[in-house]
Each structure stands twice: as C-alpha cells, then as structure tokens.
Structure 1
Amino acid sequence: MPLFINRDQIFAHQVHLLEHKLRSKEERILELETENAILHLRLAECLGKLRRDHEEETKALKHHLHQRNAQKITRSALVKLLSEVQAVKQDLSELFAVYLSFSTELEEQSKQLLEKLQQASGSLKSHCGDKVQDLQAGVAALERSLEEERERCRAERQRRKELHNTLVELRGNIRVHCRVRPVLLFDHVQSPTSGSRPASSEEVVSTISDDTVMVNCIKTGMPVQNKMFEFERVHGPEDSQDAVFEEVKPLLTSLLDGYNVCIMAYGQTGSGKTHTMMGSQLLDEHSGTQQETQQGIIPKAAAELFRLISEMPAESHTVEVSVMEVYNNEVLDLLARDAQGNTADQRRDVITTSAGTSQVTALTYEPVRNASEVMQIISSVLKLRAHCPTLVHPDSSRSHLIVTLTISSKSPNALALARRLQSAKKDMQHSPQKEWWSPRCRRANPTARKSSDDHLFASTASSPCRSPSHSPCPSPRPSISQALFRTKLQLVDLAGSESVGMSGVSGAALWEVSCINRSLSALSDVLGALAEQRPHVPYRNSKLTHLLHDAIGGDAKLLVMLCVSPTQRFITESLQSLGFGTRARQVQKELPRRKNNTLKVK
C-alpha cells in the first residue's frame, strides 16, 4: 500500500521550526543589544572617571605651579623686606646715638637752670617776703568786701522782686494787649456769602497811638462812626515779634517770683494768633534756618525763662512741659504715649482739688533743660492738633492749644520760706487764738500784710502742685530740704472765633464751630462775672475755663493778646474781639480773703 505524504503538514512543520528559530534569534539579538547598552554605559562611566581624574591631575598640577610661583614671589619679597629692615636698623642706631647726645646735653642744661632757679627763689624770698604778706592780707580784705557786696546784691534782688511785682499788680493782674495785623492776600477774596456787595478789603481798624485802637463803622446810608478802644498796649501792623515780646517779658520775672502766669491769644481765624504765639515758619533763603525775628511768644518765652534760670543758683529750678488741646469740649493730652511709644488714649478729665484749684488727671509731663528741647516737644505734637480749612483760612485751628511750663523751685528763698512757715506753725501751736496765714494763698488781712513779713509775699508761690498731695495752701512741713514751690506758665493759642456763615463749614465741622464759640462764650461769662464781682464765677461751664481756673482767678498774672483783622470784611469779628478785651480790662482782682474754716496743721 503506497505511503501517502502530506506536504502541507511538512511545510507547516518546517515553517513552525523556522519561526521558532527566528524567535530564538530575535531574543538573542535583544540580549546582545542589552549587553551592548550595558557595555556602553560602563564605557561612559570609565571615560567620565578618566576625565575627572585628568581634570583633578590638571588642577593639582596648576595648584602646584601656583604654589611654586607664590613661594618664589614670597621669597623675593622677604629678601627685599630683609634688606629694608637692615636699613631701618641702621637708621635707628644712628637716631639712638643722636638721642643719647641730646639727652646728655638736656640734663646738663636742666641742672644749670635748676641751680639758677634756686638762686632766684632764694633772693626773691629774701627781698619780697613782706610784699607777699601784704598781698595776702589785701586778698583777704577783697574777699570780705566781695561777700558783703554779694549780701547787698541779694538784698537788692529781693527788693527788685518786690518792686516788680508791685508794679505788675498796679498795672493790673489781667492785662490786655491788642495787635492789628497787616492786610493779607485772603483779605481781598470776595466772600461767597456777601452776594453783590462791594469788595470788603478796605482797612477800617487802625492804631492811632500805642494804647488806642480806632474802628471805622461803615454802614450803608449812615454816617461813618468811629469807635475807640483803649488797652494797656496796642501793636500796629509794623510792629515786629520782638516788639510784641518786649511787652510780655516782664511777666516772666513774676513767674520766678512765685506767681502763675498765663498768656493767651484771642481772635478770629486768620487774625494772627498762631503767628503771634508760635511764629511763622519762614526760612532764610541763604542759610535755610528759621529767622530769629519770626519767632513768636512761646519760643521767646521759653528762651527768656531759661535765661533767667541760668542766673539763679545751679540746679535750683527744674522745668517740665505739658501740651494739651481742648477739642469739642474734651481735654486731650498730646504727649500721651503707650509702652511702645505710640499715641495712646489722650482724653483727660479736669477736676477741682480740695483747695479749689483745677487739676488735669494723668497729665503727661516731659522734663526739659533748655528752650530747644521745649520747641522740639511742641513741634513734634503740633501735627496732632485739629485743623480744618475754612473760607477764611486754609489751615484753621479748630482747638484751643495750651502749652504749660511747670517750674519747681528749690532755691534758698524757698528754704528760707519753709523756715518761716515752721516758726509760724510753732507760734500757732502755742497760741491757737492767733490768726495764722499761708503765704502761698495770701489770705492775710490788710493789717497783717503790712507787717515786717511783707517781703515774703512777693516771693511765695501761688500755683498748685502737679499732684493732689501738694495742696496750693500747704501746712508748714517739718522737713525743710524737701520744700518745693511750683509755678506754671500757661501759653494758650485759642481757636478762632467766627460765625458759621463766615467760615463756610458744614456737616461735622458745624459741631466744632459750636464747641469753639460756646467755650469762648463761657470764657467771656467768667470775665464778666469777675468784673461784676458776682459771688459765683461759672468756671465749670466749659472745659477751657475749668482748665484755666488758676490762670484767670486768684493772684495769677493773665495777659490777653487780642489779634484783630484790619479790613471791613471781618469788622463784626473784630468788634467782638475788641469788646471781649474791654470786658477783660474791667476785671479788678482782689486778694483772696481768709476763709472762715480753720486751717488744719499736720
């Protein structure tokens, strides 16, 4: 039976074998390619290592060459330096030889001079012994006469204080000065509220003498009426800041004599109050510094105060400054700072002490040693003062600024007064029926003030102490070394007084204007009550009058500087300011009388 061969199966089997071989070859190719890649990576690593080794060898070779070059340079420099050192040694040896020769010669000359000096001193002692004794006796006599002159000088100074205070009191404890400013640019600006009326820049306020102001009251269809106002001193537009301060300067002497002093500027916005009190900020074109003639009362008063203190015994007076403003009938402490030095809560309360004097609680005081420190403190807080532009002035002050300089005196006069108080206490303890007085209150009756202790009144302090524990009428203390007398100088720049229509403010600013006018009206009421000698003076109607109680009442010296605009545009406000000054002049202060209650002595 023939054998049947299936070719298709044979071919399929061969194809299957060939495919199997092909797959085996492909897998071998992949293995070889993987091995090739691994060999390439190893080759790259070897090449990189060889390259790094080559670079390190190159760097090491370069470093070695650099060190060799540096050693060569150092060796050459050392050789050169060694030669220079040898030259210096040679020079030093030569100088030392010269020094030895000079020192030997100097010693010989000094010995010769000492011998001559001994010979001269011996001859001088023998010939001038009597003259030296006469000179010593003359020096002793001159020292005794100098001490006598010093005693006379102290007595004359005390007498001058008495005469000065008497002169100031005769002039009046409340003095009123008037200053008429020159016509400025904004005087020619037509007010929007004036309608079709003619320009109001005509001058109607003028000074006709050094104590009289004349106002031309012009009304349509009416003849011109001239009103005269007399004051202690009137300054015209031509008067400088120095001329204004010369009339203020005598009050500072009363300050160191033991009296409170207050100087306040009153007037409408733009009348020159801040210029009068602080001065202008005009700079000299060449030096760039503030001109001396432009300083106001505050910097000049500070400089004069420290000048007067410099004439006193050293460390006999200390000065502290505080700065407040009365804004919207609130007293704000402009120097208040928290622990980090930032502005803290500035609102303060005004209280009345048991002695009837006003005091600001928790008020910040900064010690100062000269006038420049005072002005630095004031300048640093002026930016905190409330300002607002109005139709009258682009930078109108909307608060009352009060700068207070408190002077603590521990001078020999204060110690002498303490001794007198001790003796008065002993006399009162021995005779309780005897009427006793406290010189700081000046409650003595007229007959007692004519006694031999008259000189004591002029030098006693009339101001309250800063703390409540220091009453303005203290009992005599056993301790003399701690007797401190405090007086204060208050410098007040009041806010401007004008109507709402003139200022042109609206919204929240209306409340500011209302508070300003009410406080100024309260100040006028206080002066009116004092002028009419009413039994009750309404100090508490306003924070301003409550704060200035010590300056307006008692035996404090008050000077009101009326600042007046000269033009017809502001005639209503000018007449109001002049009327206020007239009422202030009518106040006739009386010395405080002794109260009926008995004085407790501790």
Structure 2
Amino acid sequence: MPLFINRDQIFAHQVHLLEHKLRSKEERILELETENAILHLRLAECLGKLRRDHEKETKALQHHLQQRNAQKITRSALAKLLSEVQAVKQDLSELFAVYLSFSTELEEQRKQLLDKVQQASCSLKGDRGEEAQDLQAVVSALERSLEEERERCRAERQRRKELHNTLVELRGNIRVHCRVRPVLPFDHVPSSTPGSWPALSEEVVSTVSDDTVMVNCIKPGMPVHNKMYEFERVHGPEESQDAVFEEVKPLLTSLLDGYNVCIMAYGQTGSGKTHTMMGSQLLEEHSGGQPGAQQGIIPKATAEFFRMISEKPADSHTVEVSVMEVYNNEVLDLLAKDAQGNPAEQRCDVITTSNGASQVIALKYQPVRDASEVMQILSRVLKLRAHCPTLVHPDSSRSHLIVTLTISSKSPNALALARRLQSAKKDMQLAAQKEWWSPRCRRANLVARKSSEDHLFASTASSPSRSPSHSPCSSPRPSVSQALFKTKLQLVDLAGSESVGMSGVSGAALWEVSCINRSLSALSDVLGALAEQRPHVPYRNSKLTHLLQDAIGGDAKLLVMLCVSPTQRYVTESLQSLGFGTRARQVQKELPRRKGNPLKVK
C-alpha cells in the first residue's frame, strides 16, 4: 500500500526552519551593528585624545622655543656686559700703570724738595721761612693732585665692582649647578632575578645640553616618561674638575668686593660631593703625590683666592680659617684641642647678631697666609669627621662639613702712600724744628710721632704748609682711619640625602640618618620660605640653617652644586636632589648691598 505524503506539512516545516534561520541572521546583524557603533565611538575617542595630545605637544614646543629665544637674548646681553667688564678691566690696568708712574715721579720730586729744604736751611738765614713755606705749598699741591688721582682710581674700581656685581646678579644670586657623575664599579650590582627589567645599573640620568638634564623614569608595564630639569649650568660625566671650577671662579671676585659667598654640594652618598668639593688626591698631594687636575673646589678656590690677595697691597687682607661639622644637630669645632694637645670635639652654640649675621660662640680661628697652610689644616682635621659604612658607600660621611675662610679687609687706598707721606712730614718737621724750637713743640712732636707709630698711617687730607706765625707741630690725632670689614667664604660638603631604606643602617646609626634628613629638610623649608617671600624664614629649625643664615639669605652669593648618580638604582634620590635644586632656583633674593660698615677690632 503506497505511503501518503502530506506535502503541506513538509512545506510548513521547511518554512518554519527558514524563518528560524532568518531570525538568527537578523539577531547576528543587530549584534554586529552594535559592535560597529561601539568601535566608532572608541575611534572617535582615540582621535580626540590624539588631537589633544598633539595640541599639548605643540604648545609645549612653542613654550620651549620662547624660552630658548629668551635665553639667547639673555646670553647676548651677558656677552655684551662681559665685554664691557673686560674693557673696564683694561682701562683699570692702564690707569694703575699711570698711577704707579705718577707715584714714582712724586717720590722723586719729594726727595728733590727735601734736598732743597735741607740746603735752604743750611745756607739761608733771613728768608728761610718764606722758602720753606713755598716748598711746603708745592708739596701740598702735589698731595692734592695725588688725592685726585686716587679718587679717579677709586671711582674706576667702584665702577668695575658694580659691573661685576650686575653680571653676577644677571646670572643669579642663588645659582644652581648640576653635575652628573660617571658610572662607577659599585653601580654594577647583580640583580636577584636575572633578566629582570629595568636593570639597576642602567643609565637613566643624562645631560641634554650645558643647562639641561634629562631623567628617564622607567617603570615596569608603563611607557617611558622623560623629565627635563634646567639649571644655570649642567656638567656631564666627561667634564673635568677644572671645567667645574671655571664656573665657580667669578664668585671669588664678589668675595673681595665685600659680599659673603657660600658654595655647597648637595646629593646622596656616593654621588660625588666630596670628590667635587675636595678632590680625590687631597691627602696624596701633601704626602709627595703628584698634584693633578683632581683637586676639588676647596683647594682650587683657596689657591685662586690667595692669588687674588697677592695682587692687592701688602697687609690689606688677613685670612683666618675655621672647620666645623654639624653632627646629630650639634656644631662641633674640628680645630679645638684638649689640654694635652689631642683633637677633641668641642660643641659650639650658634647665635644671631644684631645685624642678622650668624656667629658661633667659642669657635677657634687659625690665621693662614697661603693655600698650602689651609690644605695642611684640612688634611689633618678631615680625619676627625664622622664616617660610617652604609649599603651605598663603605665610607659614608655622616655629618655636614663647613670650611669657613674669614677675610678681614682694610682700605687699600692710603696705606702705602700714607707711610711715605708720614716719613716726608717727619723729615720736614725735623728740619723746621731747628728754626722754631720750643719745649712745647718738642712734647707735641713726641706725642705725634708716638701716635703715628701706633697707627702706621698719617693724614693725607690736611695740608703740610705752615706759616711762621704758627707752630709747625703736627696734630697727634690722625684724620684717616683704616676701616675694617669682614666677609666669609663658606665651603660646605653636606651629608648624603638618601633615605633610611637606601642606606640600610640600623641601631644607633638610625639617629644619624634621622638628623641628616631633618637638617636637609629644614634647608629645603628655608629655601621654600624665601621663594614664597614669607614674613618668617625658619632658620632656627636646624643648626645647619642657623649656621648658614647669612650665606643663604640677605645679600650673600650662594652656589648649590647638585651631585647626581646616573643609574636606575638611585633614580629616586636623583629626582629628590633635582627637585631640591628646582626649588632653590625659585628664590628671589633682595638686591645685594656691599658691606661697608666698619667693625670694631679689639
């Protein structure tokens, strides 16, 4: 019997299957359209972000170009001013040569006049008073002309000082230099997980130009981010000690012009602070080693300073040295000795005088005459400085070292000339004493001679001419005084600024690290208060800032030498040092005023 096939059921089933497939396709189409819309939204967001990043980069590039143009204009102005300073120096040298020739000619004329006075005193009897008066009038005229030449020389010298100070002000009263040391053997530390990224010995700090340093901030899983820091001068690993000192040398001229100068090295342990300040061959040079270019700022600055003093008149400057360290927030005098002559740590207190200067009570000052004496003292007392091994360096300095050169200067204008005029007046007085002699005059002459021997100078403003009706006795009271003023050159080697975790110390050494970090934090707070021009600057929060009060604020010249390690291992400490230097550059100090107030010397 044939099977009965219901075609309608078959067709209905096929239609049902096709409708099911159609619904599935339509659902798939809706899903794809939704995904397409989401992708379009993401594409629009990416395009907007790229457009914003491009605008930011364009603005940053324009700002950088503007800064570059401003720097070029400033450098051209500095170059022009430097050429003017050099021209003034040349004029001063020519004027000094004329001054020497005029002094020599005046000396010869003085001798001739004295010979004529002696001849006239022996040959003439009646008109001796008139002849002596004429000769004294000629001497007076010569003294007045000499005084005019001295005034011209003083004005030119003052102009040179003003130009030099203007040049230093344009470059900044607080200058921040950065020095990136080369990679050293102790930087290569084997990693606990070989092949880990990034490597601890990888160089991440590099110099871009002579005023810009770049830090590659590398973090696992994050893109590389470069940070740029600009300072007045950046020294790369290849630059020598001489190149570093050439940027420091102009500050010594300001020191002789009457301004306090401070040079400090800031950075973590092992970043090259002591190498920059002292050099690596300080002790070897005094023990027969070869004096090379590895000398640091302290020996080079000392040698240059005494060279500049040697060009001044004799006995116009006296220099004293003191060496201190700030250890555990205590000021210790490294030059102090006990009764047996052995070195002893003498604690000193710091006070602030009425004129705002810091003064250390019971601090020992040792007079020095040349740079070799200073270096001998330093090579002896540096052994007394506190040291402790850490994970960063086996011989880490745990105190702030402060070497101070105190310069007492007196007026260089009239010292040598006053002695010659004093001798001439004595000769004239002895010649005239034979004519106008009396017991009263003799007593006055003895008093005047004793007074002049005590003071070692005579009046150049008063005229030596006398009339026969007056006594030729000179006044025992001098009218020219030698005004003394003191300036300080402070050379500071700060302790390491690394954290406790980086140093790896424990026990009693934790207190040392805590005191170091608190004193450096106080130094940063002082610079921040100066930058924000707060009415109160917290100098007394630390013995370090209290000791350096007249070197950081006021009219002093401050140079901060940032010493930075180049490797990834110390990138945190390097960023902290660079941030400290950036804050120091923001300080706007008041206009410098030359120290002209005489100090009372006992």
TM-score (norm 2): 0.61
1:149 CA displacement: 8.5
Letter in structure 1 aligned against 2:237? P
1:155 CA displacement: 4.2
Percent identical across equivalent pairs? 88
Find the aligned partners of 2:234 and 2:504 in 1 and give their Cα distance. 31
The residue number in structure 2 matching 1:271 is: 271
Equivalent positions of 1:516-535 (< 5 A) are 516-535=516-535
1:290 CA displacement: 3.6
The residue number in structure 2 matching 1:366 is: 366
Find the aligned partners of 2:351 and 2:227 in 1 and give their Cα distance. 41
Structure 1 residue 498 corresponds to structure 2 residue 501:
no
1:500 CA displacement: 1.2
Structure 1 residue 180 corresponds to structure 2 residue 184:
no
Is contact 1:177–1:232 with CA below 8 Å preserved after alignment? yes
The residue number in structure 1 matching 2:347 is: 347
**Distance verdict in 2 for CA 1:194–1:354, change over 3 Å:** farther
State the SS of the aligned residue for 2:558: strand
The residue number in structure 2 matching 1:402 is: 402
- Deviations, residues 22-66 of structure 1 (Å, cap 9, x unaligned): xxxxxxxxxxxxxxxxxxxxxxxxxxxxxxxxxxxxxxxxxxxxx
**Distance verdict in 2 for CA 1:561–1:220, change over 3 Å:** same
Find the aligned partners of 1:493 and 1:170 in 2 and give their Cα distance. 26
1:253 CA displacement: 0.4
The residue number in structure 2 matching 1:510 is: 510
Letter in structure 2 aligned against 1:223? P
1:484 CA displacement: 1.0
Equivalent positions of 1:80-99 (< 5 A) are none
Is contact 2:411–2:483 with CA below 8 Å preserved after alignment? no
In structure 2, list runs of 5 or more residues that go unmatched.
Answer: 1-101, 110-141, 416-477, 594-602
The residue number in structure 2 matching 1:544 is: 544
- Deviations, residues 255-292 of structure 1 (Å, cap 9, x unaligned): 0000000000000000000000000028999x952432
State the SS of the aligned residue for 1:293: coil
**Distance verdict in 2 for CA 1:279–1:192, change over 3 Å:** farther
State the SS of the aligned residue for 1:213: strand
The residue number in structure 1 matching 2:244 is: 244
Equivalent positions of 1:186-201 (< 5 A) are 186-190=186-190, 199-201=199-201
The residue number in structure 2 matching 1:207 is: 207
Equivalent positions of 1:419-438 (< 5 A) are none
1:294 CA displacement: 0.5
Is contact 2:260–2:489 with CA below 8 Å preserved after alignment? yes
Find the aligned partners of 2:267 and 2:191 in 1 and give their Cα distance. 19
Task: Tell me the matched-pair count.
Answer: 393
**Distance verdict in 2 for CA 1:354–1:283, change over 3 Å:** closer
**Distance verdict in 2 for CA 1:480–1:151, change over 3 Å:** closer
1:355 CA displacement: 2.6
Choose 1 or 2 for highest CA Rg.
Answer: 1
The residue number in structure 2 matching 1:314 is: 314
Letter in structure 2 aligned against 1:397? S
The residue number in structure 1 matching 2:567 is: 567
**Distance verdict in 2 for CA 1:191–1:319, change over 3 Å:** farther
State the SS of the aligned residue for 1:292: coil
1:376 CA displacement: 0.5
Find the aligned partners of 1:307 and 1:330 in 2 and give their Cα distance. 34
- Deviations, residues 321-352 of structure 1 (Å, cap 9, x unaligned): 00000000000000011343222451111112
Find the aligned partners of 2:353 and 2:579 in 1 and give their Cα distance. 33
The residue number in structure 2 matching 1:258 is: 258
Is contact 1:212–1:234 with CA below 8 Å preserved after alignment? yes
**Distance verdict in 2 for CA 1:345–1:245, change over 3 Å:** closer
Find the aligned partners of 1:414 and 1:534 in 2 and give their Cα distance. 44
The residue number in structure 1 matching 2:113 is: none
Is contact 2:282–2:295 with CA below 8 Å preserved after alignment? no
1:359 CA displacement: 1.0
In structure 1, list runs of 5 or more residues that go unmatched.
Answer: 1-136, 416-477, 594-602
State the SS of the aligned residue for 1:206: strand
Find the aligned partners of 1:301 and 1:495 in 2 and give their Cα distance. 21
Structure 1 residue 218 corresponds to structure 2 residue 231:
no
**Distance verdict in 2 for CA 1:222–1:327, change over 3 Å:** same
The residue number in structure 1 matching 2:281 is: 281
**Distance verdict in 2 for CA 1:208–1:497, change over 3 Å:** same
Is contact 1:334–1:381 with CA below 8 Å preserved after alignment? yes
State the SS of the aligned residue for 1:279: coil
- Deviations, residues 66-125 of structure 1 (Å, cap 9, x unaligned): xxxxxxxxxxxxxxxxxxxxxxxxxxxxxxxxxxxxxxxxxxxxxxxxxxxxxxxxxxxx
State the SS of the aligned residue for 1:248: coil
The residue number in structure 1 matching 2:388 is: 388
Find the aligned partners of 1:283 and 1:347 in 2 and give their Cα distance. 26
1:354 CA displacement: 2.5
State the SS of the aligned residue for 2:293: helix
Find the aligned partners of 2:544 and 2:498 in 1 and give their Cα distance. 18
Letter in structure 2 aligned against 1:217? C
Is contact 2:205–2:567 with CA below 8 Å preserved after alignment? yes
**Distance verdict in 2 for CA 1:404–1:414, change over 3 Å:** farther
